[in-house]
Amino acid sequence: MRNRVSIGEYLAFLSTKHEIDPDKLFRALVSAQEDQETTCGELSVLNRGKNKNNTIILIVKDSKVIAQFPITEEFLREKNNPIKPFMGTRFASRWATKRSTRPLSLQIRDLRKGMKQINLKAKVLEIPTPRPVYTRFGNYAVVSNALITDETGTIKLCLWNDQISTVSIGDTIQIENASMSTFRGENQLKIGKKGKITNSEQLDPRQLEVHNA
C-alpha cells in the first residue's frame, strides 16, 4: 500500500532532500504557475498545464524528472508559505536524518588502490557492450567497465551481470560500499556483495502518492 502524504508534506520532503530553502521553492512554484517555467537552485520548475482547478507541476534536475504532481490554486495563493509547517514532520525529517547519518562521499581524485567502503556520487559517461568472461569460480559471467565522472576526474566502474542493466548513460548514480583495485595497470571501482548502486535522482512512485489536502 502506498503512503498518502499531503502536498505540503511532499514539498517539504523535496525541499529537504534537495537542500532548497522552502521559501525559494514556494516562490518558484508560484512563478511557474504564472510564467510556465522557472528555476530554483539546480531545479527547473515547469507548468505542464491545468487539470480542473489544479496546476500540474513538473520538477527537473539535470534533464531528469524529479517529481510531477498536481497543486491547487488555493495552495499557491496562501499568504504564508504553506510548506514551512511541514518541514519538521516525520516524513521530511526522516530524509534529513538519513542524510545526516550517511557516510560522507568521496570524490574520484581521492581514490587510492586498496581503499574499501567507498561511497561516491558520479555521472555515467559510457557503458561498453558487455563481454562474457570465465570467472575464477568456474562459471561464465558478463562484465562491462563503465566510465563514470565527477568534477574531479573519471574512473572505470566494473559492472557484473544484473548490475549492468541498473544504470544508463547520463544517469547520476550513488555508489555505496565499493572497493578500489587495479586491473592491467588501470584503476577501477568494484561493487561487491555488500555494495550498492542506485540512481541518486530516482523517486519510487510505488512508495508515494501525493494528494492535495
> Quick count: other Cβ atoms within 10 Å of Cβ 6?
17
Q: Where residue 3 falls among pLDDT bands split at 50, 70, 90?
A: low
Which are the contacts of 1, defined by CB distance < 8 A and separation ≥ 6?
none
Mean pLDDT of the chain: 82
Closest CA to 55 of 45, 47, 66: 47
- Of 51 and 4, the structure prediction assigns the larger pLDDT to 51
pLDDT at residue 126 above 70? yes
Question: So where are the chain's domains?
Answer: 3-101, 108-199
Beta bridge partners of 156: 147, 188
Decide: 105 and 184 in contact? Cβ < 8 Å.
Answer: no
- For residue range 109-121, what is the model confidence (pLDDT) as tens digits? 888 888 888 888 9
Q: What's the full length of the chain, in residues?
A: 213
Q: What is the pTM of this model?
A: 0.47
For residue 124, which amino acid is it?
V
- For residue range 8-50, what is the model confidence (pLDDT) as tens digits? 988 988 888 888 899 999 999 999 988 888 998 889 999 988 8
In order, the DSSP letters of the chain are -PEEEEHHHHHHHHHHHTT--HHHHHHHHHHHHHHSEEEETTEEEEEEEEETTEEEEEEEETTEEEEEEEEEHHHHT-SS-TTGGGTTSHHHHHHHHHHHHSPPPB-GGG--TT--SEEEEEEEEE-PPPEEEE-TTSSEEEEEEEEEEETTEEEEEEEEGGGGGG--TT-EEEEEEEEEEEETTEEEEEEEEEEEEEETT---TTTEEEE--
pLDDT at residue 100 above 90? no
Closest CA to 179 of 161, 191, 164: 191
Rounded CA gap, 81 and 91, in Å? 18
Task: State the architecture of 108-199 in CATH terms.
Answer: Beta Barrel (2.40)
Average pLDDT score over residue span 129-155: 87
Decide: 133 and 142 in contact? Cβ < 8 Å.
Answer: yes
Rounded CA gap, 28 and 106, in Å? 32
Sign (positive/negative) of CA torsion 115, 116, 118, 122?
positive
Rounded CA gap, 62 and 52, in Å? 30
Whole-number percent of the chain with pLDDT over 70:
85
